[in-house]
Amino acid sequence: MERALDVLEMLASTEGDAGLSELAARTGLPYGTIHRLLRTLAARGYVRQNSDRKYALGGAVLRLGEAAERLLALRVRPYLTRLVEISGETANLAVLEGDSAVYVAQVPSPRRLRIFAEVGRHVLPHCTAVGKVLLAGRPEEEAEQTLRRTGLPRRTPNTVTDLTTLLDELAKVRAQGYAVDRGGEDVDVHCVAVPVVHGGRTVASMSISGPARRIETQSLDDLVRRMTEVADAFGESL
């Protein structure tokens, strides 16, 4: 079982697919062992073999991921509700899927004027606070590769599109433990995000989002401190 998980995790860390020799080299497992594991995983739909004979993750892994996201969304609701109570704004939970940040849960603000980020919506990470937190939780080289692949399109006049500036910002996010988006995805919306850490890894990002003028009137230090307490409690509960 442990070796099969090693193979799946190695495939997940590639940019798409990998050949038998690459998997053997990266896992340190013998060719024969790798081949037997891949044959079993393919029979169950967890991997598939492409026309070039390389292997990639199969649909069964995606179904597991979808189920995990639904469970995550169910369990996080009380914590997001607490963020709404703290901030008065809409609270969100996002995870990193491929090169996108995906909103998997939300509790809306009770205010008449409020912000919605549709559950299931994919956004490019360089535009959003949740995306920056998620990228900052990855190794620097991996985060840079993601930013290079996305192309850093400009969403608003406030979107940061310079790679060096973004990498510096990610370093700052790692050091301070939060990210702020001031109109990078929607010019009139500001967001504050903190990481959800489990097992020493950033597994998700919690955020609050609202109209720019309301977010700017809040004490950032106090808001981040209280958000971090909630995110840490959720991470410990996983």
128 Cβ contact partners less than 8 Å away, ≥ 6 residues apart: 94, 101, 181, 184, 185, 191, 193
On the CB side of 49, CA atoms within 13 Å amount to 12
Q: In the chain, what are the domain boundaries?
A: 2-57, 64-237
Per-residue CA distances from 237 to 54, 168, 231 (Å): 38, 32, 10
Assigned architecture for domain 2-57: Orthogonal Bundle (1.10)
Work out the number of other CB atoms within 10 angstroms of the CB of residue 192.
26
The whole model's pTM is what? Answer: 0.77
Judge if 2-57 and 64-237 fold alike in CATH terms: no
**CATH of span 64-237:** 3.30.450.40
Q: How do the pLDDT tens digits run along the chain, 238 residues long? A: 677 777 777 777 665 678 878 887 878 888 888 888 888 888 888 888 887 788 887 877 767 767 777 777 789 999 999 999 999 999 999 999 889 999 999 999 998 888 777 888 899 999 999 999 999 999 999 999 999 999 999 999 999 999 999 999 999 999 999 999 999 999 999 999 999 999 899 999 999 999 999 999 999 999 999 999 999 999 999 8
